[in-house]
Amino acid sequence: MRLLFLGDIVGRSGRTAVIAELPKLRDRYKLDFVIANGENAAGGFGITESIYQEFIDAGVDVVTTGNHVWDQREALVFIERYDRLLRPVNYPEGTPGRGCGLFPAGNGQNVLVINAMGQVFMADLDSPFTACDREVGACPLKESADVIFIDFHGEATSEKQAFAHYFDGRVSCVVGTHTHTPTADDHILPNGTGYISDVGMCGNYDSVLGMEKEESIHRFLTRVPRGRFQAAAGEATLCGLAVEIDDETGLTKTLKGLRLGGLLSPSEPLFWVD
C-alpha cells in the first residue's frame, strides 16, 4: 500500500497548496490512501465544515485533528455527521465525534486510522497509550485491519518515541504532529513500525509556526499581546510522510519525508517515481 500523510494544514496558504497539489500527487505516486491533519486549517484555529469538504473533494481520505479541534464551535455539531473527520481518541467518553475508524483504501485493503493526543504539555486527557491499546486490541493488525495508522498529536518527542516503541510491531506507522516543524528521524522501528517525531506543517515557513511573525515577536519581547494571531500568507511548503506498507505483514517497508514548494529544501519519495 502507498499511503501519504500530510502534516498540520495551516490557514489559507496551507489549504490552497493541499487542494491544488494533492490531486497531482495522488496521480504521480499512485496513492492508495491519504490522511491529513486539518486542525489548523481555518485561519490557524480549528476546521469548518466547508473546509473539511474541500479536503475530501481534493482527495483526502481521512482528516485528523488535535488540540485545536474545537476552536471553531460549529465542529462540535458537524463532526457527528462525518466518520472521516476524527478527533483525539483519548477525549473523555461522551465527547462529540470519534477517535478512530476503519476505512477502505484504493487497493481494496482496510485502514484503521487512530487519532491520539499526548498528555505532556498538552490538555489533561486520558492516557493515549491505554486508549490506543483498546482500539488496536479490538481491531488487530492483519486480523481485522490490513493497515493501522496512528496520528500522535503531541508536544514532547520523548512521549511520541515511547508511544511508538510501545506499539512497535502492532501497528503499521506512528506519525507525530503538532509542532509544525519537520524532524529528520523518519525510520523503521525494530519490529517494523514506521515512525517520525513530527512531519511538519503544510503552511508558509516564513512565519512562526505558520502564523505571522510580528505578533509572536512582540509577545516574546513584551509579554503583552498586541492583537490576534493571524495565519501567514504566501507560498506554503507541503510537509508530510510517504509510507510504503507491506501488503502481507501490514508493516512499513520504506518511508520518506515529503517537502514540496515554499522555503524548505525539497524532498520526495523517489521509490515511488518511475
Catalytic residues: 68
Q: Which residues neighbour 224 within 8 Å (Cβ) at sequence distance 6 or greater?
A: 218
Distance (Å, rounded) from C-alpha 182 to C-alpha 56? 24
3-state helix, strand, coil in the chain (%, to 5): 25, 25, 45
The 3-state DSSP class for residue 160 equals helix
Instruction: Extract the C-alpha cell encoding 7.
Output: 502534516
Q: Which of 133, 2, 8, 143 is nearest to 69 (CA)?
A: 8
Element (DSSP H or E) covering residue 239: strand 238-245
Strand pairing report for 110-117 and 100-104:
antiparallel
- β-strand partners of 17: none
